[in-house]
Structure formats: C-alpha cells, structure tokens
C-alpha cells in the first residue's frame, strides 16, 4: 500500500495485479531467509513505503528517486545512521528547493519497521543485479 500523503499521482485506475515481490524477482531476498525474520519483514516494508518511488536492482514501476541498490546501496555509501536520518527528514542531509522525497514519520514507518528495512537493504547490498 502507498500512504496517501506519499502518492504523487492522481489515481485514474487501479488494476489488481500480483504483489511486487511476485512481479519482480530481483527485489526478493534469498529464499533461505526465515519468513518472519527482519529481512523478510523489511522486504514487506520496502514494498509498502519505498517502492512507490524507487527501483531496486533496476526493477520496479517507479523511477522518481534513484535506484536503492545499484550501483551502490545507500547503506554502503551513507551508513545506517545517515540513511535513517534521511528517511525521517531528507532535507536534513541535503537541501535544495526542488527536493521531492517526503519525510517519512513513525505513523507510516515505525522505528521497528525502519530497523527491519535497514536489514533488508543490507541483505540486498549482497544481491546486486540478478
């Protein structure tokens, strides 16, 4: 689901399709990840909160922001603390009037969800391309 406040387009039609994880194999974690573990929980969070604007491993429907895994994952060049800060308040890291990424607060993404999301992004940093 896309939080309404993050939806950048007008909805003209909704097609029910397979979940992103089914449509895009390249965003899936390794198959040996426990279904209720942090990486799989982070995978669900990623699809709910980030995939509406960002691709990962160059797949996805949205390209509003940069790809979150290739060539480099933000966890590689920013580190967890700065990335967490960017998610909560993008303009606190880089400011310019045209920036479009919204601040994502705890109502949309709890601190626990954010931690899981970082686990997913770290995991995917070891799974480029495919």
Using the minimum distance from each CB to ligand HEC, give the nearer residue, 32 or 97: 97
Q: Tell me how far, at minimum, the Cβ of 58 lies from ligand HEC, in Å.
A: 15
Residue 125 and residue 69 in contact, taking contact as beta carbons nearer than 8 Å: yes
| 55-93 burial: b if 16+ Cβ within 10 Å, else e | bbbebbeeeeeebbbbeebbbeeeeeeebbebbeebeee
Using the minimum distance from each CB to ligand HEC, give the nearer residue, 97 or 126: 97
Interacting residue ranges for ligand HEC, rule: CB under 6 A = 6, 8, 49-50, 52-54, 64-66, 68, 74, 83, 86-87, 90, 99-102, 104, 109, 117
């Amino acid at each position: 689901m896309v939080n309404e406040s993050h939806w950048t387009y007008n909805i003209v039609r909704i097609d029910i399709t397979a979940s992103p994880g089914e449509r895009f194999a390249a965003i899936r974690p390794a198959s040996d990840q426990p279904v209720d573990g942090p990486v799989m929980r982070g995978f669900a969070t990623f699809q709910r909160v980030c995939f509406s604007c960002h691709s990962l491993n160059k797949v996805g429907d949205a390209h509003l922001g940069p790809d979150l895994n290739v060539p480099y994952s933000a966890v590689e060049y920013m580190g967890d603390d700065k990335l967490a800060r960017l998610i909560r308040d993008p303009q606190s890291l880089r400011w310019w009037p045209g920036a479009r990424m919204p601040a994502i607060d705890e109502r949309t993404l709890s601190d626990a969800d954010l931690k899981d999301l970082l686990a997913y992004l770290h995991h995917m940093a070891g799974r480029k391309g495919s």
